[in-house]
Structure 1
Amino acid sequence: MSDWTDTVDPAEVAKFEAMAAEWWDPHGKFKPLHMMNPCRLEYVVAQVAAEFGRDRRAPRPFEGLRVLDIGCGGGLLSEPMARLGADVVGVDAAERNIPVARLHAEQSGLAIDYRHGTAEALAEAGEAFDVVLNMEVVEHVADPAGYLRACHDLLRPGGLMICSTINRNPKSWLMAIVGAERVMRWLPVGTHDWQKFITPAELETLLRGAGLAPVDAKGFVFDPLGWSWSLSDRDLSVNYVTASLRPGG
């Protein structure tokens, strides 16, 4: 029997199952993601356009690219990628997220292939993608190394993976746990486990161990005065994102 489910953490899946109906409420439990999403999308679009030589000004610049959104949730990244012309597959281990995502895509007139499943199951089935979006997932799995190996296997040679997560240090504990969960009440208490956060150096080691070649890293920085997020070349102290390639393209 296959062991592809080994990296799934049932307790983590249950947390997001409980919040599934709120994905598209910008004032609900996913308010932080709605606030961060323009910044996340800007990074994703810039990296994909640069790597595949696409003109961002074109009507559908990602036409012909097959994109996997792992941990797609309600489709906050899947939908804009589909609008940009990509052939999008959205996968989530939390089964209740999928009908929410499907309904919203249908209402938005978008054709997105949403599936309940895991990266490991897709890899085992021989699926292959030009781009893998792996956003805020790696800190929720039971075996990050095994999970990232599956992500590697899902990429075609020369393919691009974008992976975001949360750093592990006193500042991230203060901001992501105390601030976001207990003070601002943006997320239910217990959504994140600080001990499962991953430092940039640890993530780079994990990526290289999975056979990927890191090519970029930036921070997502929240400005409490402007109430907005921005990208930073230097500040990776809390939320950050990386781009890496599967060699051989």
Structure 2
Amino acid sequence: MCYLFLTIPNLFAIGILLKVIEHVANPAEFCKSLAALTVPDGATIISTINRSMRSYATAIVAAEYLLHWLPKGTHEWSSFLTPEELVLILQRANITVREMAGFVYNPLTGRWSLSDDISVNFIAFGTKNCQ
């Protein structure tokens, strides 16, 4: 996983970070950097994995060890964020979460879709507050 932050403030109108934040060492600083690069009222979309027993069973045990969809050790359960933690981190970074939804995979169709179930994967949409 690789990412680069430029030092030019207010550069992007939208930041899309899918399945990244659970791999960074300091999610709060990561989100502050993201906010610094986002224009006022700019959008932020973040998807991640909830820190729940169900996510441990599906994202680690099933995906890494049983189904071998991912290399073993890709995820560390303690690095997952709950929806409440992500909202708080984003608020402290001057980003207001406007919507949140679950993100579920259907193995029969091979497709992802939005859901009310945020117990494993979820996605949040927020906007940077005007200063």
Q: Which has the larger radius of gyration?
A: 1
Q: How does 1:79-228 map to 2 (within 5 A)?
A: 92-93=2-3, 118-119=4-5, 122=6, 124-126=7-9, 128-228=11-111
**Counterparts of 2:73 and 2:124, CA distance in 1:** 25
Deviations 1:187-225 (A, max 9, x none): 100011111000001100101011111101111112233
1:236 counterpart = 2:122 = no
Using CA pairs under 8 Å that are at least 6 residues apart, name the structure with larger relative contact order, 1 or 2: 2
Which one has the bigger helix percentage?
1
**Counterparts of 2:9 and 2:100, CA distance in 1:** 29
The TM-score with structure 2 as length reference comes to 0.93
Letter aligned with residue 125 of structure 1? I
**Counterparts of 1:160 and 1:127, CA distance in 2:** 12
Q: Please state whether the residue corresponding to 2:46 is helix, strand or coil.
A: strand
8 Å contact 2:99–2:125 — kept in the other structure? Answer: yes
Deviations 1:37-87 (A, max 9, x none): xxxxxxxxxxxxxxxxxxxxxxxxxxxxxxxxxxxxxxxxxxxxxxxxxxx
| Residue 42 of structure 1: aligned partner | none
Can you give the 5+ residue segments of structure 1 that lack an aligned partner in the other structure? 1-15, 17-91, 94-117
Identity of aligned residues (%): 39
Can you give the 5+ residue segments of structure 2 that lack an aligned partner in the other structure? none
**Counterparts of 2:91 and 2:55, CA distance in 1:** 24
Letter aligned with residue 51 of structure 2? R
Deviation at 1:226, TM superposition (A): 3.1
Which one has the bigger strand percentage?
2
Deviation at 1:127, TM superposition (A): 5.6
Aligned residues: 131
**Counterparts of 1:206 and 1:195, CA distance in 2:** 16
**Counterparts of 2:81 and 2:69, CA distance in 1:** 21
Deviation at 1:134, TM superposition (A): 1.3
Deviation at 1:230, TM superposition (A): 1.2
Letter aligned with residue 163 of structure 1? I
Q: Please state whether the residue corresponding to 1:160 is helix, strand or coil.
A: strand
